[in-house]
Structure 1
Amino acid sequence: MAIFTFNNIKISAIAGAVPKNIQRVEDYKEIFGEEEVNKFIKSTGIVQSRRTNKHQTCSDLGYTAAAEIIRRKNLDPAEIGCVIFASHSPDYRRPATAFVLHKRLGLKDHAIAYDISLGCSSLIYGVQTIAAMMNSSDIKKAILVVGDTAGKSVHPEDRSSVMLFGEAGAAILLEKTEEESNIQALLRSDGSGYRYMIVPGGGYRNLNPPDDVFECKDGNPRTLYNSFIQGTAVFTFTIFDVPKVIKDFFAATGTTADNYDSFAFHQANLFILKQIAKKTKIPMDKMPISLDKYGNTSGASPLISLIDAYGDDNSGQKLNTLFCGFGIGVSWGIFSAEISTNDIYPILEDDSVFEEGVIHSPNELYAGLKK
């Protein structure tokens, strides 16, 4: 069992950012019909989401969130020993997007930067990775940036996905502390489900396939560049494997749902969350829901939900929180940590783009080279 305990490491700040552009689900009634859209809203709980503009990326939103943490905590960028970008929405095929964040945040050359290619479980795996690194090094502060712009890979007439996904970026600051504080995590993976959620084209196995539109067996149109979700397989995975990992975590840590103040879970859809809560005896009133406002925001969704619930709470309440992420891979996991509501910052709205990163010609790359 891959269970981890990290002592004297705490989450000392959480921030999140979403685009200003609101996409209302009811606007799809013209495309899919009123009955279909109403059914979707009832089952998923999604009323609206946010979408990025053409050149805006997840790292733009993640940068906004990370910069907010640095500003509010009055940090010197030289203090930050690591930045990890965990997402399936990189800026480029190469280099890793973490290097873009490293530059924009003004980090020093001693700070480690790299990407983790994960989607809805990226927060869980990212926190475990950073905590393990800090546990065996002299790194005292590190930033994790998570999120996705999944809407960019969805076919506009795919009723299974186009109303589902929202776009967001979030950042989390981890810090070594002398206080009594620990993070515990349990991670799982099953590569047999790699086809459950996939964008088949555009990677190096099938770099430039034709962009023909296929009528898929579920009745939705897609090209090989679009996201494909095997709905039945994903649903089975979420309502069986996810509750099991939660129960296994409870057993391994000697806790129950009663030991936690908040459950920051991936916002897959409302029906799935209710099924998970029912099977694990988690009270729904302790599980913040952000689906209605922001949609399924992939790996950022547990943080966006916590921010939505507590971002304006300056009471200093200590929340013993259980975080859970699950999805593409398939990959899933859970970790527990305590955080003060004073360190959960209100959601930011931002449409800014890192213009330097929008490259229209290879000759632009010669500008600003070190001599």
Structure 2
Amino acid sequence: MHNKASIRGIASYIPSGRLTNEQLADEFPDWSVDKIYEKTGIESRPIASDTDTCSSMAVSAARKLFERLNVKPETIDYVLLCTQSPDYKLPTTACIVQNQLGIPTHAGALDFNLGCSGYVYGLSLAKGLIETGQSSRVLLITSELYSRYINKQDKSVRTLFGDAATATLIEGVKYDKELIAGFVFGSDGSGDKNLIVPHGGSKIPISAESYITVSDNSGNLRSPSDLFMNGAEILAFTLKSVPKLVSAVLEKSSLDVTSIDKVVFHQANKFMLDKLRKKTKFTEEQFLVSYRNYGNTVSSTIPLGLELAAQQNILHKGEKVLLCGFGVGYSWAGTVITW
């Protein structure tokens, strides 16, 4: 028997604010409720309030997890926080979360900025910490507030993204088989400009120009300090990369499509996921979706999907679940977990 990393539980924090298709149709009369749903598969999206922050959402998700699992914060010895919307450029939000949760000061804490593939990368980091003996209990958090980067007059992204945080407890268990395995990664920085907030970093600091809005060919308004997504390029990248990722993960895990009980992909939108399911040859019964009432919550989509499936008794103990994250970066990652 060896020490193997295992997911013990997942909990989420969903902001109380909601952006519905009815609200969007009122603001964009050329887009009906039916058209928005047909294009995205999303009915509503959680939106962070003015008082929500990356750290406050992370802390709320973690406290819910601790209560659900009857776990004390002082037993956590590492905090991994995946976010692209940290409280500050510095200091590290994970350290703020460690302090607010009452996790001991001997615990490690770090942020990593990875977006849609981030949860799978986080599982890999947690597995490495645990199975090399550096840690025994890792708190993996995702906390995303993309709404802070979206121009309200840009329906191309406003219809897609929501805000949410999740907390996952990963700990070592004595077991003779891998419970989180078959990791495959990928990155291609040549696609950086296809999903980006252009201004605000060290390359192009904020200036007066950062807030000048311009209209694109579809009438969407945005400034260089807002989120931009080239949807056509993101779709092309996804349809090219993800089927290869799935094949590589299955091969590395010595599994095939029929050996997988459930599949949770990053929840980008219905159109993309329908195409991916058909390309990867998974059945509708295997393929779990959660975008309808959450939208695209970036790194939170996969753990949200797992939590929802467990709550609905769709996901059962011992089942093999294929996880695939992909998007901004470009970055992608996959793994197989035993629930």
- Flag the 1:312–1:118 CA change in 2: closer, same or farther, 3 A: same
1:205 maps to 203
Question: CA offsets, 1:279-326, max 9 Å, x none?
Answer: 111112222221111111111111112222222539963332111111
1:195 maps to 193
1:156 aligns with 2:152: yes
Secondary structure of 2:124's match?
A: helix
- Which of 89, 94, 118 is the matching residue for 1:122? 118
CA contact (8 A) 2:249 2:336 kept: no
2:219 maps to 219
1:144 maps to 140
CA contact (8 A) 1:190 1:331 kept: yes
Alignment of 1:224-239 (within 5 A): 224-239=224-239
Secondary structure of 2:155's match?
A: coil
CA contact (8 A) 2:310 2:316 kept: no
CA contact (8 A) 2:196 2:227 kept: yes
1:295 maps to 295
82-91 or 171-180, which deviates more: 171-180
CA contact (8 A) 1:119 1:147 kept: no
Identity of aligned residues (%): 30
The AA in structure 1 aligned to 2:184 is L
4+ aligned runs moved over 3 Å, structure 1: 34-37, 312-317
- Which of 10, 24, 27 is the matching residue for 2:20? 24
CA contact (8 A) 2:5 2:126 kept: no
The number of equivalent residue pairs is 334
CA contact (8 A) 1:201 1:208 kept: yes
The AA in structure 1 aligned to 2:225 is Y
CA contact (8 A) 2:265 2:325 kept: yes
Alignment of 1:36-75 (within 5 A): 37-75=33-71
Give the Cα–Cα distance (whole angstroms) in 1 for the partners of residues 175 and 66 of structure 2. Answer: 21
2:280 maps to 280
Secondary structure of 1:325's match?
A: strand
- How does the TM-score come out when normalised to structure 2? 0.93
Secondary structure of 1:115's match?
A: strand
CA deviation after TM superposition for structure 1 residue 35, in Å: 4.2
The AA in structure 2 aligned to 1:100 is I
1:113 aligns with 2:148: no
Give the Cα–Cα distance (whole angstroms) in 1 for the partners of residues 190 and 314 of structure 2. Answer: 45
Secondary structure of 1:309's match?
A: helix
The AA in structure 2 aligned to 1:70 is F
Give the Cα–Cα distance (whole angstroms) in 1 for the partners of residues 245 and 199 of structure 2. Answer: 32
Give the Cα–Cα distance (whole angstroms) in 1 for the partners of residues 207 and 198 of structure 2. Answer: 9
Secondary structure of 2:174's match?
A: coil
The AA in structure 1 aligned to 2:154 is D
211-220 or 261-270, which deviates more: 211-220
CA contact (8 A) 1:10 1:181 kept: no
- How does the TM-score come out when normalised to structure 1? 0.86
Question: CA offsets, 1:223-242, max 9 Å, x none?
Answer: 11100001111010111101
Secondary structure of 2:115's match?
A: coil
- Flag the 1:251–1:315 CA change in 2: closer, same or farther, 3 A: closer
- Which of 167, 180, 186 is the matching residue for 2:184? 186
Give the Cα–Cα distance (whole angstroms) in 2 for the partners of residues 155 and 63 of structure 1. Answer: 27
CA contact (8 A) 1:198 1:228 kept: yes
Secondary structure of 1:322's match?
A: strand
Secondary structure of 1:88's match?
A: coil
Alignment of 1:236-255 (within 5 A): 236-255=236-255
Structure 1: give runs of 5+ residues left out of the alignment: 1-5, 340-371
Secondary structure of 1:8's match?
A: strand
Give RMSD over aligned pairs: 1.8
Secondary structure of 1:15's match?
A: strand
1:15 maps to 11
CA deviation after TM superposition for structure 1 residue 150, in Å: 0.7
CA contact (8 A) 1:146 1:171 kept: yes
The AA in structure 1 aligned to 2:186 is R
- Flag the 1:299–1:196 CA change in 2: closer, same or farther, 3 A: same
Question: CA offsets, 1:99-144, max 9 Å, x none?
Answer: 1110111111210001001111110111111211222234111011
Secondary structure of 1:272's match?
A: helix
245-254 or 221-230, which deviates more: 245-254
- Flag the 1:221–1:18 CA change in 2: closer, same or farther, 3 A: same
The AA in structure 2 aligned to 1:21 is G
Give the Cα–Cα distance (whole angstroms) in 2 for the partners of residues 303 and 82 of structure 1. Answer: 18
CA deviation after TM superposition for structure 1 residue 181, in Å: 4.3
Give the Cα–Cα distance (whole angstroms) in 2 for the partners of residues 22 and 294 of structure 1. Answer: 9
201-210 or 275-284, which deviates more: 201-210
